[in-house]
Amino acid sequence: MTPQRTFLEFFAGGGMARVGLGPRWRCLFANDADPAKCASYRANFGDGDLVEKDVAAVSVAEIPGGRADLAWASFPCQDISLAGARAGLRGQRSAAFFAFWSLIKDLAREDRAPKTIVIENVPGLLTSNAGADFAVIVQLLAEAGYRTSALVIDARHFVPQSRARLFIFGMGAQARPVFRERPQPDAFTPNALLAAVDDLAPSCAWSWRWLAARPETRRNADLCDIIDADAPEWRADLGEKARAQMSERGRAALDAALDARETKIGAAFRRIRREGGERVQRLEARFDGLAGCLRTPAGGSSRQMLLLVDRGAVKARLLNAREAARLMGLPDDYRLPASETAALKLCGDGVAAPVVAWIAANIIEPAVGDEAVAA
């Protein structure tokens, strides 16, 4: 029998954490409330582990097994994101964190608290409610007896997408990752994280540890590697329309690509900017081999556009769902929802699978040690 570590996947979406963890890990329980995401989860992993309901309606009795090695929670970011109203952990969507934590406390009362916990969200959590929301999460982890830490990891080190996310870790007292002294600011411990930790109350600051692990800052794929360059949807009229909508900076990036007289593929995404005191929607273009951060296609404005520059001409089309899945590190045999909108929402709400794989290998597995259960 193959030794496997065990995990619980909260806010599971389409199971991207499960993809990242891979066959060395066995799912005991998964939960999500979105029907389209749950349908995709079942299509890829079967129905045996998934409970489809609001996390607040889940009872501890529905979580089988003993003490899992890991609980993964990518809770909703809408109230924390810098693009939102920033209601924080008490907002309508992001407050789901507390329902998740209630289940963790219930598991602890049954002596089944997970050995490690990973909480994933946007880096805006560090400054949400002036840092109070981040402090609440660290406080709860510390009160439950976990050693705490965090890293900001951008998926760009693994896939051709700029997608920075904050990962907060709760590890048992016997955790064995390599720790270090307080680091200097870098991409993984930015000033916002250092400041948030400095502001922690003594009642939880004792639990904090700085992790030494760092991903290699060199990705193994370029945007052109995952894009269907021969797709029939490329259109010159869309290219001209896109150019007319670009910001000054975006147009400069496009002009530089045109002047190179080479074939290049870039990404463009809409942003609201103030011009002359008015809010104006503009396209930002980039030709650095990366797509912008995938978001859900709410309102139709957040779906990215692709730009094909070839011999001085520019064509454009929308990013399709399969390309979005590749940007999240999902294999081409991963079954997406039939609806393009649902598939893009699944990808935009997910966690990049290769980032999960790196975290498992470099932080969680050393923290758990050699303890495992048989498959």
State residue 219's pLDDT score: 75
Mean pLDDT of 199-205: 95
State residue 94's pLDDT score: 63
Sole residue written with tokens 């760009």: 156
Across all residues in the chain, what is the average pLDDT?
Answer: 88
**pTM listed for this prediction:** 0.92
Give percent above pLDDT 90 in the chain.
66
CB atoms within 10 A of CB 71: 24
Cα dihedral 129, 130, 134, 138 in deg (nearest 10): -120
Which CATH number applies to 3-220+348-374? 3.40.50.150
Mean pLDDT of 6-13: 96
Mean pLDDT of 336-348: 93
Instruction: Find all residues with CB under 8 Å of 324, minimum gap 6, and list them.
Output: 294, 343, 344, 347, 348
Mean pLDDT of 254-264: 86
Where along the chain do its domains lie? 3-220+348-374, 229-319
Pairwise CA distance, residues 162 & 230, whole Å: 24
Contact in structure between 68 and 116 (CB atoms under 8 Å): no
State residue 299's pLDDT score: 41
Q: What is the pLDDT of residues 266-311, one digit of tens each?
A: 999 887 667 777 777 788 889 999 999 998 755 445 689 999 998 8
Mean pLDDT of 41-67: 94
Q: Are strands 116-121 and 147-154 parallel, antiparallel or unpaired?
A: unpaired
- CA atoms within a 13 Å half-sphere pointing along the CA-CB vector of 213: 23
- CA atoms within a 13 Å half-sphere pointing along the CA-CB vector of 313: 7
Q: What is the pLDDT of residues 211-240, one digit of tens each?
A: 999 998 777 789 999 998 888 889 999 999
State residue 179's pLDDT score: 85
Range with the poorest average pLDDT among 137-141, 150-154, 228-232, 362-366: 228-232
Mean pLDDT of 33-44: 96
State residue 232's pLDDT score: 85
The DSSP output letter for 155 is G
Angle, nearest 10°, between helix axes 35-45 and 340-348? 80
The DSSP output letter for 125 is G
State residue 85's pLDDT score: 53
State residue 250's pLDDT score: 83
